[in-house]
Chains A and B, each alone.
Chain A
Amino acid sequence: MRLVGRPIPRVEDARILRGRATYLDDIEPPGTLHAGFVRSPYPHARVLRVDMSDALSDPRVIAGYTSLPGPPMAPGGKVRFQGEAVAMLVAVDRYALADALERVVVDYEPLPHVVDPAKALEEGAPLLHEENGSNVAHTARYGSPDAAGAAAPRVLEGELRVQRVVPAAMEPRGVVAAYDGHTLTVWSSTQVPYDVRKEVAGALGLPLSRVRAVQPDVGGAFGSKLIVYPEEVWVAAAAYLLGRPVKWVATRSEDFRATTHGRDMGLAFRVGFDGSGRVRSLWGRITCDVGAYHWGEGLSDIAARMLTGPYDIREAGVEVVDVYTNKTPLGAYRGAGRPEATFFVERIMDMVADELGLDPVEVRRANLVRGLPYTNPFGMTYDTGDYTGTLEAALSRLGYYELLRWADEEWARGRLVGVGLSIYVEVTTFGFETAIVRAEPDGSFTVVTGTTPHGQGVATGIAQIVADELEVPLESVRVVWGDTALVQDGIGTMGSRSITAGGSAALLAARRLREGLKAAAEQLLGSPVQYSGGRFWGPNGEAQIGDVVRAIYRGRASGPLEAYEVYNARSTYPFGVHVAVVEVDPETGHVRPVLYRSYDDAGEIVNPLLAEGQIHGGVLQGVGQALYEEAVYDGEGNLITANLALYGVPTFAEAPRYEVRFAERPHRSEHPTGTKGVGEIGAIAATPAVVRAVEHAVRRVRPGARATSTPLTPEKVWMMLRP
């Protein structure tokens, strides 16, 4: 019986759930020193002098640095966001370190700062990077330049905004490095060990062969750990220079400021449509607040290029402006551009429907792409699917119209509930990925995946795929990852690509190994053989797969013991329909997510249990974006939501009831796994669905109410409800 398609519990659970995982902070080689950073309290300042002499007079303090191989600290003598590193100290323990950090004296000359991207674009605004001549970090145009002035029977203009959020992975960033005189080993809480290895080796002038990067168990990342941060290189450099292990683990408050934030995009739009709701043209300008450095390149470009969503809008054009401000740099965060695009286009569809007094589903149906593949106006080619058919199936499976009727009945009884629907198409998967499938001497198999899972259950999914291909039990396949000593190159887990790119690489490696073992079995048995269920057989007899492997290990047959596969994966496009139900307290504005239903065509589903878990987690982050979370900076450039007591990550108690379904007859991708990816769907679809649900409820009380920005805090909802 095939394992793919079955809801198998994570093989990772035994370790993770019983507290036996090894996270970064669990790693401490003997003699480890502890590193910490002096960070700027100012959003923008010139660093005049860093005096570490008092700190260094403490014998427990081993070293202090204002520069190290790798990126410069305070580049150009300036700090550009609150929390930017100015100096690094290394001490014998964390107590000494914390004391010493307080004894470093830094003379700052505070400079005028700007935290509002609109103000940052004004003439005379303080410049973050003077050599750049303005605060514009990047611009681009996609689609038709004529869309802005396109004629249409009806035109609607407006502005929408998706707020800045903190990824807030449970495990903060951290790095440990140790140099044994030959090999520099760098353990990092990262999604990209290959990049860490390359950056560290490059900074120190070492060949890759002398640097090993290890990704231990990682307690969440959500895209916030997919760049190589300066701290990773600096700590590795200090370990190399000092010849002793050095460790740094961010505190929560430090992580809130020094790890990339997400989203933070605004859209000015002009949409032209006719009386039936058919959209004739769409023009938009996306302004993305990238913070102090452009670490999150491409986020606004993805948002722009997915702006028409699953709708066939031929006349469409988008401009992109990325703007520097004195904030923590922006980076990828679960969905990375698609949640913003989906929020924008779904809000626009709802507004068009409301303008015309039409059913929002009707307007969407009138505009949905028919016939795939389909290349959108920005050059993105949606691969497979049946959007109108899936919509109809979803409406019935999700009980959308029944929920609307129920909401009417509840309102008649005095209870204010709202129902919101969103449709999305999103883009997953890119680039190459690697896999090694190795036969062990007992006939079990080890898979080394180039992906870098960190809680998703990817190892379980890949084990299912490989066990099916080799026709062996799940228990015979072990999946390992995250160590450049095991696999030298790869990209990693991000962009919902792991099962599609990494799983396909593993599948193809397993297939090749199986073919090689078959050839070896034919040598052993002296005849052509067939294979099934772990057994080769032919006219002269049979051999178990383990017998063949052992024969190769002992030189009695020749054949491969492992297969290394590099798979280049083109992008693929999941599609789906989500419905959110919320209850609104009309007196306080409080919104309670009650129920969340989803129907997704994400291609083949390797493991429905784990896929459903991915939807749950993504949806709750989308709910957080819609209702609870916001990285707030005050006028002085202070991040005032600077830790988990002040920043509202939704918890289990805020979660709605989930009812997750996948399309019964999914449209496969072109990849060997047939999968499209599920990791980011929830975060993409949930925010517009929840926002519409709130608006749907509020419009019973205030018919013209319109939600244009997130989060819909209770106070904002209360304001919308007021006369």
Chain B
Amino acid sequence: MFPPELDYVRARSLDEAIGVLASREDAVPIAGGQSLVPLLKLRAVSPGLLVDIRGLKGLGGVDVGGPIRIGALATHGDIEGHAELRARCPVMAEAASKIADVQVRSFGTVGGSLAHADPLADWPPVLMALDAEVHVHGPSGSRAIPMGDFVRGPYTTALERGELVTGIVVRDCPRGAAYLKYAYRHGDFAVVAVAAALRADGGHVSEARLAAIGVADRPLRLGQAEARLAGVPVSEDAFADAAEAAARSVSPPDDHRASSGYRRALLATLVKRALRAAAGR
């Protein structure tokens, strides 16, 4: 890697990191480096200062004691391999296992992935379907941002200057949740992926949350499909109906990886499969 000359500082505390990031416009945080380093290699970005937050205490770990709390510095591999989390919220382990490859999962962090906001990142749809909160800390203190409000566009988030993601909180992880990712090769970015969370009461859907990537320039909550599921009997017909509604509700991008029409068809298939998988759990 031969980036332009840059400074590097290893932050000793969260406040120090935030202080530096807030004071220098050309400073960027680095944790696992799985998105930033490739960009530096390509000279697609040229920050003046890297603020290494990887060693910060208290920002890692997975806590399933009460609400599920996952530190920003937890790696995808930490999430994938956490036995209690897997028991409590299997969809998170499932999603983690579908990110890239072992090397990337060993370094890449959930906080870094969220802050980078690649439109095809795997966490946003999962966390949207789980109604998670993103906890951030910055010069003016801490706040929690609903996952649905966090991503504002491609590589754009609700983070203010100097703010860092500190963790995510999942208060409600239904057992019936699934993440279906369609990629051309193992470890590729998704073409289209769908996260579904489903609850049933007496054979009827009591709650359905769906989110997708690959069908817009950012992760999307599939509200119209969710609406079709409200109160209806859990059935293949209902899933097909929701899938059709989902497909109708989007205007997917058209590029060399996949046409708009193909993405729409994939969305319908994946919504159906995700709901089926969720209902089977």
Contact = CB atoms under 8 A, between A and B. Distances in A.
Interface of A: 94-95, 97-99, 102, 253, 587-588, 590, 628, 632, 634, 640-641, 645, 648, 650-651, 653-654, 713-715, 718
Interface residues of B, number: 21
A651 B187 contact: yes
A415 to B, nearest CB: 16
A588 B42 contact: no
A98 B43 contact: yes
Given A94-B2, A95-B5, A628 B185 contact: yes
20 contacts: A95-B2, A95-B5, A98-B43, A99-B5, A102-B43, A587-B265, A588-B182, A590-B182, A628-B185, A640-B256, A648-B188, A651-B187, A653-B185, A653-B187, A713-B184, A714-B191, A714-B262, A715-B258, A715-B259, A718-B262
B224 interface: no
A651 B101 CA distance: 12
Interface in B1-20: 2-5
Nearest to A34: B2
A97 B2 contact: yes
B143 interface: no
A538 to B, nearest CB: 64
B185 A650 contact: yes
- Most chain A beta-carbon contacts within 10 A, residue among B4, B43, B266: B266
Contacts of B185: 628, 648, 650-651, 653-654
A385 B130 CA distance: 64
B269 interface: yes
A715 B262 contact: yes
B86 interface: no
Contacts of A654: 185-186
Interface string B176-188: 0000001011111
A282 to B, nearest CB: 34
Contacts of B4: 98-99
A253 B266 CA distance: 30
Interface in B104-149: none
Contacts of A645: 38
Contact of A98 (B2, B184, B191, B266): B2
A411 B174 CA distance: 35
Contacts of A651: 185-187
B42 A253 contact: yes
A645 B187 CA distance: 10
Nearest to A642: B42
Interface in B220-261: 256, 258-259
A713 B257 CA distance: 9
Contacts of A641: 256
A648 B184 CA distance: 8
Nearest to B184: A648
- Most chain A beta-carbon contacts within 10 A, residue among B4, B38, B262: B262
B256 A634 contact: yes
Nearest to B255: A640
A2 to B, nearest CB: 42
Contacts of A653: 185-187
Contacts of B258: 715
Contacts of B42: 253
B265 A718 contact: yes
